[in-house]
Structure 1
Amino acid sequence: MRTFIAIEIPFFREIEELQKSIEGRAKLVEEENMHITLKFLGEIEEKLIEKIKKIVEECKVDKFKISLQGVGFFPNERYIRVIWIGIDGYEPIVKMAKCIDEKLSKLGFEREKGYVPHLTVARAKGRVSIMNYDRFKNLKFGEVDVREVKIKNSTLTPKGPIYEDVAVIQL
């Protein structure tokens, strides 16, 4: 099963406005798939889920609040592959992600090179730009009370990924 660990994010009207302002060929992230990835695990055997859940439990922090703010690009503004929204108050996310990454490396998972918490809103399939970029570049999109972390299964389909909860860990 293709799996990742994430924090689900509600779909704010401002995110929809940003997505509608993207010009060019881009695959928009669906409303129901908005999340911040803590760790992408890739293809794993189902028997590993309990060990992974235990690691997430060991690494969890108290519930916290984040703000979705500003727009950025991977790898950079001149060559856009991913359009994302930044996270203000991301320290607890980084703390959990580093802990999960370290403990999962002992199970043979590859270590992250440089974790940057972000909310992906679109993936470029060619040249893209954002109409009225100045309006969005520092915009506050919304606040989120983070109360849980999920282990999710991702099934790839021609219409896009379908995500299912495998485990929910309360903070």
Structure 2
Amino acid sequence: ITQNGKDFTIATKKDVTFDTVTANDTITAPKVKATDGVETPEVTGLTNKTWVPGQTQPVSGRAATEDQLKAVDDQVEANKANITKNAGDIAANKAQIDKNTEAIGRKISLGGNTGSTDEKSLSTGDVKFNIKGENGLTTVANGEDVTVKIDDATKAKIDNAANQD
């Protein structure tokens, strides 16, 4: 036993067995091994308490604290809620896509005094109808409108006939 002020150092032989060791403050040892018969198998006072998912880097061989496990558990719970919400959103989106696909697949055609046009579908990208005039009628397409009018020669004949009265 040596003394340096209030500090005492006890040197023992290499392998020593003690029945009980009590320390009021701190025990420092390079390695601690828990064996059978430990009355309170808990290690407390650890300093690695925080864990930020996606940011904290693990240290190999170091135990996680309950604080860290709780942070991971909270993240798992949040992910679980998000997965449930996303599954519902996916189902709703699929239903809307199916409805839109059905609408796009519908066919349209134009009918006249005699006959009708071939059916066309948005799903094949061929929805275009050409409206043609004949026997003195002309058509002009612009934007959403198709204008049907009498050609100039026919208009002149009608105007001339009107002046003959």
Query: TM-score, structure 1 length as denominator?
Result: 0.17
Between Structure 1 and Structure 2, whose CA radius of gyration is higher?
Answer: 2
The one of the two structures with greater contact order (alpha-carbon pairs below 8 A, sep at least 6) is 1
Query: TM-score, structure 2 length as denominator?
Result: 0.17
Name the one with the larger helix percent. 2
Name the one with the larger strand percent. 1
